[in-house]
Amino acid sequence: MILVLNGPNLGRLGTREPDVYGSDTFEDVVTLCRDTGTKLGEQVEVRQTDDEAELIGWLHEAADGRIPVVLNPAAFTHYSYAVRDAIAQRTAPLVEVHLTNPAAREEFRHTSVVAGVATGTIAGFGLQSYVLALHAIAEMNTTS
């Protein structure tokens, strides 16, 4: 089992700033992640929330269950020390993902407070960022 967790505004993909995020929808993310999981022999569950407390609860669930996570923390990336602290409790790999490259965007997006406690970060490849992260976790699962 791999959890794919998504933070605020990602449920609005397809209509939210298509010039930045493209025309793919959140349902496209869900389908791609599930299909990738099937190809990798992994069960993938995809969730999205605009609520910081709910995201933290999911991260606690993953830590308690030793469940690997692909996480797009969205805006929480840049300021949520609560999300960072929840990630720091992880007991399995956690890969931070971003559709765009935060380093190539506005200056406030250049800092990730969660990167230091993630296993790794993949950014800037659109929906393929999720695919790359799922492959990375599946590889870690087979080598551990």
Q: Which amino acid is at 66?
A: R
**78 known ligand binder:** yes
**4 strand-pairing partners:** 46, 70
135 is in an annotated binding site: no
Please indicate if the annotation marks 72 as binding a ligand. yes
Given the residues 98, 110, 130, 135, the one annotated as active site: 98
99 labelled ligand-binding: yes
Query: Binding residue per annotation — 34?
Result: no
DSSP 8: T
- Contact assessment for residue 133 and residue 95, using Cβ atoms and an 8 Å cutoff: yes
Residue 28 annotated in ligand binding: no
Q: Active site includes 21? A: yes
Burial (CB < 10 A; 0-12, 13-18, 19+), residue 17, is exposed
Which residues sit in the known binding site? 72, 78, 85, 99-100, 109
Which residues sit in the known binding site for substrate? 72, 78, 85, 99-100, 109
- The residues annotated with a catalytic role in the active site are 21, 98
